[in-house]
A and B are shown apart, each in its own frame.
Chain A
Amino acid sequence: MLVKKITFKVNGKEVTIEVDIRESLLDVLRNKFHLTGVKKGCSVGECGACTVLIDNMAFDTCIYLAVWADGKEIRTIEGEAKDGKLSKVQQAFLDETAVQCGFCTPGFVMSTTEMLESGKNFSREQIKKELSGHMCRCTGYHNIMLAAEKALGREDKQAVQID
């Protein structure tokens, strides 16, 4: 088998497409669906820039074969704003100026979205752990933490110094 026809949902829309078995989901999302908010960073699952939600869990799409997406529900940053209104997480990143060059931002937003939708409460340490699969090379982690805490309803803790 060199190509496979797969059907999956991307940002709420069901699509059927023939994918090359050698392609990563990252390549398919970027090149076939033009979802360029899914960033190609390290290609080896270390930087988290290519993170999307697959069935509402965060995955690095660079090390995920496209054929595995068959039957799955995929969410990328492009689908997060609804009717021109940013999602709660996106708005928090904007409010806290948690964006510098922007390359890591979509991934951070998707992982924070997974946390928000889990309905759980997260301590500062837990947030750090949950976001540890993302790298920001502008070293903007301070504001990213503030944004994540705001989105997750921990505004009260914002005065605490991040070590």
Chain B
Amino acid sequence: MYDIAKYEEAGSVQEAIELLLVNPNAMLISGGSDVLIKLHEGKIHDAQLISIHGIAELKGIFLKEDGTIVIGSGASFSQVSKHPIVQQYIPVLGEAVDMVGGPQIRNIGSIGGNICNGVTSADSASTLFAFNAKLEIQGPDGVRYIPIADFYKGPGKVDLRHEEILTTILIAPEDYQGYSGHYIKYAMRNAMDIATLGCVVLCNVEGGKKIKDFRLALGVAAPIPMRCKGTEEQVKGRIFTEALLEEVGKMAIEEVNPRTSWRASKEFRIQLIQELSKRAFRQAFINAGGEL
């Protein structure tokens, strides 16, 4: 049995916030594929859980009238990757979350949990960085919005107060319309593995050659997911060439700060960043209608 001292079920976001307010030791559980494993491994004791597992209002995926894509934080990875809106407008996000764990994990793990864990390897995070996703966070004082890049404070640390809940992920039309992308997860196995490195490129291509906009985001290239803003500035407005591809790889490694872990050395990660940036760029360019 799990080491759970207290368990409460919230029927709504409001109720979950109220439960959080009265119990400073409580923690949220959504899909459970992180919390229950930590409990199993003895990393959490006497857990006081507030379940937001069954809250329907957290699971919706829809388009707002202004074209903003709204993804409920409680949507499972499978719900995200199989959703027609994701497949039509932001397929690269669906492809990225379809690389999390295995099918059963994707059926239970939530995209919100993936972000709130604050880990740099989260398959959803780098792609959401590339889309300039905004997060809607609800607390006792109301709702606030924060760009995902500001949400990450450090490894495992996010800008979420105890009594707050990440409710939705928003992607504005100007951040996805006209863009195509490609995500590469580098891991030791094709399934049931954590990214040694995650790399995503989004491109907006004009006339088959010109890179109107370019975004490069990486996971595990630094303590938190990151964008290579310097590289992006250098690529915007340029014509695609093989030489530019090489340049991107070389510029990207100047911006990153990977570490050595048991999965891979810093040097290997740098090599991965250089190579995967190029590969993701090439494929994203083709996906965006670019002509090689």
Contact = CB atoms under 8 A, between A and B. Distances in A.
Interface residues of B, number: 29
Given A23-B1, A45-B101, A132-B191, A59 B40 contact: no
A144 to B, nearest CB: 15
A58 to B, nearest CB: 5
A48 interface: yes
Interface in B1-57: 1-4, 6-9, 29, 32-33, 36-37, 40-41, 51, 53-54
Contacts of B1: 20, 22-24, 27
A64 B105 CA distance: 10
Interface string A60-98: 100111011000000000000000000000000000000
B32 A63 contact: yes
A133 B53 contact: no
A132 B32 contact: no
B230 interface: no
A59 B76 CA distance: 12
Given A23-B1, A27-B1, A45-B37, A60 B9 contact: no
Interface in B206-255: none
B29 to A, nearest CB: 8
B102 A65 contact: no
Contacts of B51: 65, 67-68
A44 B54 contact: no
A111 interface: yes
A132 B33 contact: no
A48 B191 contact: no
B102 A63 contact: no
A129 B37 CA distance: 23
B104 interface: yes
A35 interface: no
B192 A46 contact: yes
B265 interface: no
A65 B105 contact: no
Contact of B103 (A27, A64, A130): A130
Contacts of B8: 1
A57 interface: yes
A132 B40 contact: no
Interface in A1-58: 1-2, 20-24, 27, 43-46, 48, 51, 57-58
Nearest to B35: A63
A116 to B, nearest CB: 14
A23 B33 CA distance: 15
Interface in B135-152: none
Contacts of B7: 1-2, 21-22, 65, 67
A4 B2 CA distance: 15
B190 interface: yes
B25 to A, nearest CB: 16
A65 B53 CA distance: 10
A134 to B, nearest CB: 8
B104 A45 contact: yes
B107 interface: yes
Contact of B32 (A20, A27, A64): A64
A67 B9 contact: yes
B104 A43 contact: no
A60 B2 contact: no
A100 to B, nearest CB: 21
B81 to A, nearest CB: 12
Nearest to A134: B102
A65 B49 CA distance: 12
Interface of B: 1-4, 6-9, 29, 32-33, 36-37, 40-41, 51, 53-54, 78, 101-105, 107-108, 190-192
Counting from the closest, the 4 A-B pairs by CB-CB distance are: A133-B102, A132-B191, A21-B7, A22-B1
Interface of A: 1-2, 20-24, 27, 43-46, 48, 51, 57-60, 63-65, 67-68, 111, 129-130, 132-134
20 contacts: A21-B4, A21-B7, A22-B2, A24-B2, A43-B40, A44-B41, A45-B101, A58-B104, A59-B104, A59-B107, A60-B105, A63-B33, A65-B2, A65-B53, A67-B51, A68-B54, A129-B103, A133-B102, A133-B192, A134-B102
